Amino acid sequence: MHRSWVAGAATMLIAAAALAATAAGGPQVRGAAAVDTARQLAADQEPGTWMSSGRTYDEQRYSPLTGINRDNVGRLGLVWYGDVDTERGQESTPVVVDGVLYITTAWSMVKAYDAATGEKLWEYDPQVDRAVGQVACCDVVNRGVAAWKGKIYLGALDGRLIALDGRTGKVVWSVQTTDPTQPYTITQVPRMVKGMVVIGNAGAEYTCRGYVTAYEAETGKQAWRFYTVPDEPGKPTTPELEAARKTWNGPFWKFGGGATAWDSIVYDPRTNLVFFGTGNGLSWAPDIRSPGGGDNLFTASVIAVNADTGRYVWHHQLVPSDAWDYDVTNPLMIADLKIGGRVRHVLMQAPKIGFFYVWDARTGKLISAEQFAPANWATKIDLKTGRPVENPAARYTVDKASLVYPAPLGAHNWHPMSYSPRTGLVYLPVTENNTGFQQLAADKFKVNARTYNTGTISGSAEITKLYEAPGAPPRGNVKSYLQAWDPAAGKEVWRVDQKDFGPAGTMVTASDIVFNGNWSGEFAAYDARTGAKLWSAPTQANVVAAPSTYTIAGQQYVAVLVGARGLPKGQVRTNPLSANNSRLLVYKLGGTASLPTAATSGPSTITTKLDPPLFTGTNEQVIDGQGSYARVCAGCHGPNAAADKSIPDVRYSTTLRSISDWNTVVMDGSRASRGMAAFRGIIGREESENIFHYVISQANKDKAAEQAKAARP
Ligand code: HEC
């Protein structure tokens, strides 16, 4: 829907009235977090508030504010910043309500600031046991809080759902939403649905069974729960899970099944449905997970349940019998789109798999599924059946490898996208990447709740051969861009290539500005209609999170949390509290604050130059070490020993100079308090040594490749 100018102007008038009421000492005192259904539904009449992570129930991340516009955005400047005391990835969107700005940081900590001045009002640390980091597949991150009737809600990494007093940060109640003996984690934003708080979990690389639960917001009492995969036969079940069981073979419940709903959950008041997407099955290799085949419902599916009861309404499995870690938990969004001459109430998603889906929100009928990024696993999506038309070469076995794109990182992962009803465009961070797959030999597959149980390897002689074939893409991460996608027409309208690889969330405003950070150390503003770059500011850090915007006393502010992985190229550490310069940055027109420039240091034995010792191992050690690394270490330290998140790149570690230094960290857990738990008991000494030689060998290869590249004219 394209909002008319007249309606827009009316909204602004009501907004001004609402602001005046608050300024005149209305009911919303500072830190009241006084969000309820009526206020959230009327969010457009209060555009200066960003009261939930996606701003509105439809999660469009579109702000009606126009104080910062295309003419004056060049004058945007830093007004205050807050140093964050955890490194690792910072993924939360600032929530701003009743004058207070709330963020979460890595390790599920919460900070509350005066939104105008940056004065820190309170902070809360749930004291998550750092050993939980060992089963957090994709870093110990958190994507933000929910606000409701005086309370701030947080999903903690260790599976707790915690309600805090919005004014003091004191715990009001806390429930354990998972079996703490199982490798579950939570990194997701809790969503408020009719006085309930809804939360899922993660862990589908380990041994988990996915589910989504609603709790009474006042008390923490469980209201409903929806399991995403069937239990073992004989256990009590629901009609839809009974039917789903027929799509599985073998004792799949022994691994849990996976299909965790770890990111998006959206409540649609219009249809009274709650939508969420589910993750991969467990293990990734379908032959291990469900020998003899089957679609394995409800893995890799988008599911709609009744908001009051949590009962099944509709589902669409995007990737039947998924073999490639193709989660479809990625951000879901509701909108009214004009398609084929009529306005449709739709649900949209740009999942990992490279096709942009548009459904009728009420019925789940697939309207379109056009390709938004290079994908070789399927040629198209059949609109009649909803099934992908697969490329047979993408399937792999123990003997046959495949080279697949997008890779498990996805063409689009959790990084929030935004939609402007004015331009009709979705603003989407896209990444191009690929990986090799081969199934692990049966005798090598041993389930361990503390390690990845994907049943696959990403490095082998067969995979290397595929990459050496003519026409093969360069291995790994290729490039990233900000894409403007027309969801009604199913096509790209413009794109802006990023200088460095890496996605970051987006936000769009009614003055047609898209805000988006990047991995070159910048936060930038683009023209929403053309993609022209209008403004940028240095962040001294990589950015993955999405920004938000709000007003205080009529002044528009833009806030973004930065920090992920290491530092951008050429950047030094300036935050004494975190190695990746994690910070909350807040801007307004005419802001004159600046970030510190003096370098500081902190603990770590990571060097900045790729300078490994000479390789002294054997070929056998490298081959065995490569397999063990992929199974046990790659989830955190990145595939092929190259870091892909805020965890040190082991190729740069000085521990490579001595096997005993290495084992002090790897086997004995000398860095356990920093998230590198002891691996004694999970791997043997010989296995640790094999990984050591593999990393040295890989580092030497990569160093040689770097030198060869530098020598080229
Ligand atoms: C759950 C995530 C996780 C897994 C899995 C993991 N690590 Fe780590 N590792 C970390 C973190 C976090 C650090 C950084 C600790 C710090 O800040 O000192 C680290 C640090 C290290 C370091 C020290 C780097 C330096 O500072 O010089 C080495 C070596 C290392 N890991 C090796 C391994 C090996 C080998 C494996 C597999 C057997 C592995 N890690 C598995 C999270 C992980």
| Centroid of ligand 1 to alpha carbon of 637 (angstroms) | 7
Maximum alpha-carbon separation in the chain: 75
Is the CB of residue 141 less than 8 Å from the CB of residue 155?
no
Phi/psi for 312 (5° steps) reads -55, 135
Residues in the chain: 713
* Whether residue 674 has its Cβ less than 6 Å from ligand 1: yes
Rg of the chain on CA atoms, in Å: 24
Is the CB of residue 401 less than 8 Å from the CB of residue 462?
yes
**Residue to mutate, 654, 676, 693, 698, ligand 1, most ligand atoms under 8 Å from C-beta:** 676
Residue 14, pLDDT score: 44
Q: Under 8 Å CB-to-CB from 630, ≥6 apart: which residues? A: 457, 458, 459, 639
Residue located nearest, by CA, to atom 37 of ligand 1: 633
Is the CB of residue 77 less than 8 Å from the CB of residue 587?
yes
485: amino acid identity, one letter: W
Report the Cα 275 to chain-centroid distance in Å: 17
Q: Place 416 in a pLDDT band, splitting at 50, 70 and 90.
A: very high
Report the Cα 487 to chain-centroid distance in Å: 21
Residue located nearest, by CA, to atom 39 of ligand 1: 633
Single out the residue of 82, 142, 152, 149 nearest to residue 114, CA to CA.
Answer: 82
* Whether residue 647 has its Cβ less than 6 Å from ligand 1: yes
Single out the residue of 518, 590, 591, 528 nearest to residue 560, CA to CA.
Answer: 518
Round to whole Å and give the CA distance between 82 and 582: 9
Is the CB of residue 692 less than 8 Å from the CB of residue 622?
no
Residue 108, pLDDT score: 97
| Centroid of ligand 1 to alpha carbon of 83 (angstroms) | 24
| Average pLDDT score over residue span 352-381 | 98
Is the CB of residue 248 less than 8 Å from the CB of residue 290?
yes
Single out the residue of 138, 112, 107 nearest to residue 123, CA to CA.
Answer: 112
Is the CB of residue 191 less than 8 Å from the CB of residue 184?
no
pLDDT exceeds cutoff 80 at 623: yes
Q: Place 26 in a pLDDT band, splitting at 50, 70 and 90.
A: very low
Is the CB of residue 89 less than 8 Å from the CB of residue 141?
yes
Round to whole Å and give the CA distance between 168 and 121: 8
Burial of 96 (0-12, 13-18, 19+ CB in 10 A): buried
| Centroid of ligand 1 to alpha carbon of 540 (angstroms) | 24
Report the Cα 49 to chain-centroid distance in Å: 24
pLDDT exceeds cutoff 70 at 15: no
pLDDT exceeds cutoff 80 at 4: no
Round to whole Å and give the CA distance between 508 and 55: 11
| Average pLDDT score over residue span 533-556 | 97
| Centroid of ligand 1 to alpha carbon of 166 (angstroms) | 36
pLDDT exceeds cutoff 50 at 18: no
Q: Which two three-digit tokens encode residue 564?
A: 């992920």
* Whether residue 401 has its Cβ less than 6 Å from ligand 1: no
pLDDT exceeds cutoff 80 at 22: no
Round to whole Å and give the CA distance between 338 and 328: 25
Residue located nearest, by CA, to atom 13 of ligand 1: 676
Residue 607, pLDDT score: 66
Round to whole Å and give the CA distance between 462 and 449: 28
Residue 576, pLDDT score: 82
Residue 215, pLDDT score: 98
pLDDT exceeds cutoff 70 at 602: no
Report the Cα 16 to chain-centroid distance in Å: 35
| Centroid of ligand 1 to alpha carbon of 413 (angstroms) | 24
Q: Which two three-digit tokens encode residue 552?
A: 């205080």
* Whether residue 691 has its Cβ less than 6 Å from ligand 1: yes
How confident is the prediction for the chain on average, in pLDDT? 92
Residue 481 CB neighbour total at 10 angstroms: 18
Residue 543 CB neighbour total at 10 angstroms: 29
pLDDT exceeds cutoff 70 at 16: no
First to last CA, the chain: 52
CA dihedral 176, 180, 186, 191 (to 10 degrees): -20
pLDDT exceeds cutoff 70 at 62: yes
Round to whole Å and give the CA distance between 211 and 188: 13
Single out the residue of 136, 125, 142 nearest to residue 188, CA to CA.
Answer: 142
* Whether residue 185 has its Cβ less than 6 Å from ligand 1: no
Q: Which two three-digit tokens encode residue 375?
A: 């994908």
Residue 119, pLDDT score: 96
Residue located nearest, by CA, to atom 32 of ligand 1: 666
Round to whole Å and give the CA distance between 297 and 228: 8
CA dihedral 476, 477, 478, 479 (to 10 degrees): 170
Residue 268, pLDDT score: 98
Q: Place 17 in a pLDDT band, splitting at 50, 70 and 90.
A: very low
Q: Which two three-digit tokens encode residue 52?
A: 């939930």
The 10s digit of each residue's pLDDT in 468-527 is 999 999 988 999 999 999 999 999 999 999 999 999 999 999 999 999 999 999 999 999
| Centroid of ligand 1 to alpha carbon of 705 (angstroms) | 24
* Whether residue 675 has its Cβ less than 6 Å from ligand 1: yes
Round to whole Å and give the CA distance between 393 and 667: 39
The 10s digit of each residue's pLDDT in 249-300 is 999 998 899 999 999 999 999 999 999 999 999 899 999 999 999 999 999 9
Single out the residue of 262, 93, 257 nearest to residue 185, CA to CA.
Answer: 262
Single out the residue of 564, 560, 558 nearest to residue 581, CA to CA.
Answer: 564
